[in-house]
């Protein structure tokens, strides 16, 4: 029969977890670096955002794709908030079509992201 007990400890390098377990004969101790799931998610988010920022600068994607990622939106969620069909939003992710947007559509996007239309168009990269 194996019993386990967990205990959190901190040191200079960050938080670690020590795990004590009993294998039926004696107690053992095992140290593990504690991984923070939210830290991993935010690191991945930052990496994806940087990739999109570079694609926007390179003219491969529109600034709309950057704002979608930065605000943790999906195309489906943006569609439900704006009333714009998902197909049209996907089209607006291309610079060619994004640059042709009318004022009403630009205002819809800007209001959802709580930014100005100028901020929507020009990323301060």
Please compute the mean of the pLDDT values over residues 86-107 and round it to a whole number. Answer: 96
Distances (CA, A) of 72 to 48, 66, 96, 119: 11, 10, 24, 17
Mean pLDDT, all residues of the chain: 84
pLDDT of residue 25: 78
**Cα distance between residue 49 and residue 117, in whole Å:** 20
Please compute the mean of the pLDDT values over residues 56-73 and round it to a whole number. Answer: 95
Q: Which residue did the predictor score with more confidence, 24 or 6? A: 24
* Architecture of the structural domain at 38-121: Orthogonal Bundle (1.10)
**Cα distance between residue 91 and residue 62, in whole Å:** 10
Burial of residue 68 (number of CB atoms within 10 Å: 0-12, 13-18, 19+): buried
Confidence label for 2 from pLDDT (cuts 50, 70 and 90)? very low
Asked if the model's pLDDT at residue 15 lies above 70, the reply is no
Asked if the model's pLDDT at residue 36 lies above 80, the reply is no
Sequence ranges of the domains in the chain = 3-34, 38-121
């Amino acid at each position: 029969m194996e019993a386990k007990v967990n205990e959190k400890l901190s040191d200079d390098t960050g938080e670690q977890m020590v795990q004590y377990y009993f294998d039926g004969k004696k107690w053992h101790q095992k140290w593990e670096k504690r991984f923070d799931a939210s830290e991993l998610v935010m690191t991945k988010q930052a990496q994806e955002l940087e990739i999109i920022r570079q694609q926007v600068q390179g003219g491969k994607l529109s600034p709309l794709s950057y704002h979608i990622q930065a605000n943790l939106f999906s195309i489906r969620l943006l569609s439900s908030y704006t009333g714009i069909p998902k197909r049209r939003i996907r089209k607006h992710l291309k610079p060619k079509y994004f640059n042709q947007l009318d004022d009403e559509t630009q205002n819809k996007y800007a209001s959802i992201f709580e930014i100005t239309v100028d901020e929507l168009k020009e990323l301060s990269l």
